[in-house]
């Protein structure tokens, strides 16, 4: 029997399978070499990159929760220039798609980051993280406002010919649909969803929040049902492909996102538990596609039965 076609095509870039690692959970890629076979992944998303390096938030900035974790890393990163100079060479010869996750605090930052990524041959696509507070517009996340999300997407679209993926914030609630439509109209090639959900945990003995900055982003299996619903909701409202994210830990989880309408998935928190989880998911998906009698995973995207 021929093995099923797991590939996924996005604006001219081919991912060998639909399993990617999620931003912030897999470093800049090459550090994970030896812990898993990166070349067996559909792609990797880098830690969020900004124009200038950032130290991130003070500790404690991680707290394990029931079925997940809270983080408030504060987007610590080495900056896009150091990424291109120091980390990209380590990815030479690694046979997987490299997606640069980018974020800024102003619309122009996204344009400059995309232009920089456009010049780097090893970056195959960009993913815009629009979940950070926008200082120019009074500290509101770009991702919860369709107008701001559209402006960021338009600026990115003008600045790169590479595929543009916009990463949506669950903190928009059901307005996530309007945000998705707005970024599609401005030329986004895909959306990825979801980012973390704002949360909090308290140490009752010290009477302090466990996270120094009080609030953190909740991720892991705890958010999976919310993420799955949001993927399903958005899939019914846009034409572009979706990349599902949120608590995906097994191939069955990945398959559920495919049925809900995701063309690909990203694995985040599960990589901290087991960095080889994503590559095993790709094999599990291949068996599932064959067992379903399909010749390609794309046949099963959105194939959820309603009756």
Ligand X SMILES: Cc1cc2nc3c(=O)[nH]c(=O)nc-3n(C[C@H](O)[C@H](O)[C@H](O)COP(=O)(O)O)c2cc1C
Enumerate the active-site residues.
132
Beta bridge partners of 200: 215
247 is an interface residue for ligand X by CB under 6 A = yes
How many degrees, rounded to 5, is the angle at CA 170 between CA 100 and CA 173?
150
Measured from each CB, the residue nearest to ligand X is 24
Of 16, 87, 116, 167, the one binding ligand X (CB under 6 A) is 167
Shortest spacing between CB 245 and ligand X, in angstroms: 5
Pair 206, 51: CB distance under 8 Å = no
Residue 66 CA: distances (Å) to CA of 69, 131, 215, 218, 244 = 8, 24, 16, 10, 22
Near ligand X by CB under 6 A: residue from 195, 253, 255, 262: 195
Query: Of 98-117, which residues contact ligand X (CB under 6 A)?
Result: 101
Of the residues 134, 159, 169, 196, which one makes contact with ligand X according to CB under 6 A: 196
Q: Would you say 73 or 294 has its CB closer to ligand X? A: 73
The CA distance from 264 to 270, in Å, is 16
Is 67 a binding residue for ligand X by CB under 6 A? The answer is no
Q: Verify binding: residue 248, ligand X, rule CB under 6 A.
A: yes
**Closest residue by Cα to residue 192 from 99, 96, 97, 74:** 99
Residue with tokens 């063309």: 263
Q: How far apart are CA 200 and CA 116, in angstroms?
A: 36
Q: Cβ(166)–Cβ(191) under 8 Å?
A: yes
Does 50 help bind ligand X (rule: CB under 6 A)?
A: no
* Tokens of residue 196, six digits: 């973390």
Closest contact distance (angstroms) between CB of 241 and ligand X is 17
**Three-state DSSP class for residue 88:** helix
Position among 36, 166, 223, 230 found at the interface with ligand X (CB under 6 A): 223
Residue 157 binds to ligand X (criterion: CB under 6 A): no
Q: Which of 269, 278, 288, 289 binds ligand X (CB under 6 A)?
A: 269
The minimum distance between CB 67 and ligand X, in angstroms, equals 10
Site residues (vs ligand X, CB under 6 A): 22-25, 47-48, 69, 71, 73, 75, 101, 129, 167, 195-196, 219-220, 223, 245-248, 267-270
């Amino acid at each position: 029997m021929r093995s099923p076609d797991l590939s996924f095509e996005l604006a001219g870039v081919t991912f060998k399978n639909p399993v990617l690692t999620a931003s912030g959970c897999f470093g800049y890629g090459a550090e994970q070499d030896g812990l898993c076979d990166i070349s067996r992944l559909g792609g990797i998303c880098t830690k969020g990159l900004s124009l200038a390096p950032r130290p991130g938030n003070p500790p404690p900035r991680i707290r394990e929760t029931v079925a997940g974790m809270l983080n408030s890393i504060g987007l610590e990163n080495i900056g896009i220039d150091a990424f291109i100079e120091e980390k990209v060479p380590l990815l030479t010869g690694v046979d997987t798609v490299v997606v640069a996750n980018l974020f800024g605090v102003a619309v122009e930052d996204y344009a400059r980051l995309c232009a920089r990524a456009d010049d780097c041959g090893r970056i195959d696509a960009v993913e815009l993280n629009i979940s950070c507070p926008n200082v120019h517009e009074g500290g509101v996340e770009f991702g919860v406002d369709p107008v701001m999300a559209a402006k960021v997407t338009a600026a990115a679209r003008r600045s790169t010919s590479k595929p543009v993926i916009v990463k949506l914030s669950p903190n928009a609630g059901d307005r996530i649909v309007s945000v998705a439509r707005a970024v599609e109209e401005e030329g986004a090639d895909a959306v990825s969803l979801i980012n973390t959900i704002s949360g909090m945990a308290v140490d009752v003995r010290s009477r302090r929040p466990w996270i120094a900055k009080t609030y953190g982003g909740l991720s892991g299996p705890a958010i999976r049902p919310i993420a799955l619903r949001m993927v399903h909701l958005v899939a019914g409202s846009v034409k572009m492909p979706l990349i599902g994210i949120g608590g995906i830990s097994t191939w069955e989880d990945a398959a559920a996102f495919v049925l809900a309408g995701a063309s690909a998935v990203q694995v985040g928190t599960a990589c901290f538990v087991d960095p080889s989880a994503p590559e095993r998911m790709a094999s599990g998906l291949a068996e599932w596609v064959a067992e379903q009698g399909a010749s390609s995973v794309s046949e099963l995207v959105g194939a959820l039965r309603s009756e």
